[in-house]
Amino acid sequence: MRSENDDIELIERCQRGDQAAFGEIVLRYQDRIYNLCTHLLGNSSEADDLAQATFLKAYRNLDKFQPRAALYTWLYRIAVNTCIDHQRRPFFESIFRRSATGEEVVLDHPSSSPSPEKNFENQQLQSALGKALGELSPKLRAVIVLKEIEGLAYQEIAATLEISIGTVKSRISRARVELQGLLQDFREPN
Amino acid sequence: MNCAKSHRLFSSYLDGELSLEEQEALAGHLQSCRSCRAAEAEMRVQRQLFAGLPRLAAPLGFSARVMGNLDQASVGCFTWHHVFVGFAEVAVLGVIILTGIVSGGFLVDRLNPAKMVTASLGLDLFEPAPPDSLGGVYLALTEVANER
């Protein structure tokens, strides 16, 4: 089983110039980083670009990685900041950015719904949830995605975003309340 | 515990982040308060929706593309793309400022009293009225009144 010690060993090899070690890091974390970027941006094309940018930034800043932090925490932080910065980009960048290519692979998620109708309703609600996520501010979206989709604990989110645990709790609570309101609007549009 | 406090604790309760004392207090309140029970249940439904979202895998060839760009990454993030975009931003900003200056200068010119063409209401712009006209009689009468 992979451990944090394995990650630290890989980082040390990268810092000594071993590109193959960095390739191993990319393979280990590409799905998590891509998944995170997709849910932060709501767009798989942009997610591909920014997930790549995340790893390239990590490569450029390998010398800044502190071994006391978990590698995935550090990568998540770069990914979140990259996505937030991207959403704040000036108008001209949006004109000139390049789009990524590549097919999206969606993992099958078994449905536990008792009936096709319930399954359809759940799919509709999940689609609404995806749209509602896009309505949140980047800060609230980041904490709720890290919590609900990436499954991080409060302490891990605090370390990732370099905020206090109190701030994590507050933002998660606000995000859930806002999402509840947005999903309510979906259910009762009138 | 009242409903307001109960609502504030829902999120942490859902995440198992409450102290034992807070958990017991909230659980006790939920037993007796139907509206809080419904609100807490709504939050759990939201969690279930999140659990149903698909886990996405990186596209095929993702790691190869990252590794292919490593050499560019290692020399810093400088690209001509950034230079061009930066130049475009400065250029458009310059055009906007210049347009403002020119149009502002033009407006100031228009408002300059020395250069304004003002319609004069002085009678000297008009040709004198013929003596036998109504205007001529009026002017004659006003001249007489002024002399007095």
Q: Specify the pLDDT at position B137.
A: 79
Contact A148 B47 (CB under 8 A): yes
Per-residue confidence at A176, pLDDT binned at 50, 70, 90?
very high
State percent of chain B over pLDDT 90: 35
Give me the pLDDT at residue B139, please.
Answer: 78
Taking domain A4-96, whether its CATH number is 1.10.1740.10 is answered by yes
Report d(CA A186, CA A179) in Å as an integer.
10
CA distance A171 to chain B (A): 10
Q: Where in chain A is the domain with CATH 1.10.1740.10?
A: 4-96
The larger pLDDT score, comparing residue A126 to residue A138, is at: A138
Q: Could you say which architecture CATH assigns to the domain A116-187? A: Orthogonal Bundle (1.10)
3-state secondary structure (DSSP) of residue B57:
strand
Over residues B59-78, the pLDDT tens digits come to 999 999 999 998 765 544 45
Of B17, B59, B69, the CB nearest to A154: B17
Q: Cα–Cα distances in Å, from A6 out to A78, A101, B2, B64, B108?
A: 20, 32, 49, 22, 71
The span from the CA of A83 to the CA of A70, in Å, is 20
SS3 track for B81-99: HHHHHHHHHHHHHHHHHHH
Which of B42, B58, B74 is facing A30, going by the closest CB pair?
Answer: B58
**Which residue is it, tokens 């886990």?**
B55
CA pair distance B20, B26, nearest whole angstrom: 10
Contacts of residue A47, Cβ cutoff 8 Å, sequence gap at least 6: A34, A37, A38, A40, A41
Which parts of chain B sit beneath pLDDT 70?
72-86, 106-128, 131, 144-148
Bridge-partner residues for A105, per DSSP?
Answer: B57
- Show residues of chain A in contact with B51, CB under 8 Å: 148
**Among A114, A177, A119, CA closest to A143:** A177
**Token pair listed for B111:** 């408002």
Interface confidence (ipTM) of the complex: 0.77
**pLDDT reported for residue B115:** 52
- What residues of B are in contact with residue A111 (Cβ under 8 Å)? 52
Q: What's the half-sphere exposure (Cβ side, CA atoms, 13 Å) at B130?
A: 2
In one-letter notation, the amino acid at residue B90 is V
Mutual orientation of helices A44-60 and A19-41 as an angle, nearest 10°?
A: 140
Residues of chain A with CATH 1.10.10.10: 116-187
Single-letter amino acid, residue B112: N
Nearest-Cα distance to chain B for A5, in Å, is: 22
Q: Is B12 in contact with A39 (Cβ distance < 8 A)?
A: no
pLDDT band at A175 (very low <50, low <70, confident <90, very high): very high
The pTM (predicted TM-score) of the whole model is 0.69
Is the minimum CB–CB distance between B122 and chain A shorter than 8 Å? no
> Could you give the residue ranges of the DSSP H alpha helices within chain B?
3-14, 20-32, 34-52, 62-68, 70-74, 80-111, 134-147
- Model confidence at A102, pLDDT cuts 50, 70, 90, reads very low
